[in-house]
């Protein structure tokens, strides 16, 4: 049986599109493998498998803290993660390493929605 070139090309393009879509990371649950209370950064293991391989661990993911005004008192809440906690991680639209200090900066790379720009936004209630 002879392969139809148009069908073969269509299949190749479809596989490439699926690969590109799978490379865009927006938000996903992870398990905390290690947490550094001083730097407020964690090493996390994504919990959703998208291929036959185990998802790669993401290291040094910053966490978000909170500052609230309770009555008239400003209260700062730093994250306290524990090994095994299930957290939700989001990936920034663009590279964030140069703007973490709060200064406007130019990105060094063209990456977008990359796990290298992940941030832990919270802990799932089931882990508390």
Domain enclosing residue 113, as ranges: 25-127
- What span, in angstroms and rounded, lies between the C-alpha atoms of 81 and 84? 9
Residue 59 domain flag: yes
pTM given for the model: 0.79
Count: domains in the chain: 1
Residue 34 sits in a domain of what CATH number?
A: 2.40.50.230
C-alpha distance from residue 109 to each of 57, 61, 116 (Å) = 21, 18, 11
Confidence of residue 1 (pLDDT cuts 50, 70, 90): low
In this predicted model, what pLDDT tens digit does every residue of 45-60 receive, in sequence order? 999 998 889 999 999 9
DSSP state of 3: P
The pLDDT of residue 21 is 66
């Amino acid at each position: 049986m002879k392969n139809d070139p148009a069908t073969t090309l269509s299949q190749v393009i479809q596989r490439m599109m699926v690969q590109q879509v799978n490379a865009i990371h927006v938000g996903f649950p992870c398990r905390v493998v290690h947490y550094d209370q001083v730097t407020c950064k964690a090493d996390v293991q994504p919990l959703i498998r998208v291929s036959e391989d185990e998802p790669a661990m993401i290291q040094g993911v910053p966490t978000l803290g909170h500052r609230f005004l309770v009555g008239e008192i400003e209260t700062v809440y730093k994250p306290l993660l524990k090994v095994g906690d299930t957290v939700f991680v989001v990936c920034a639209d663009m590279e964030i390493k140069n703007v973490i200090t709060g200064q406007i900066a130019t990105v060094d790379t063209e990456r977008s929605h990359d796990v290298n720009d992940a941030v832990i936004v919270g802990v799932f209630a089931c882990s508390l």
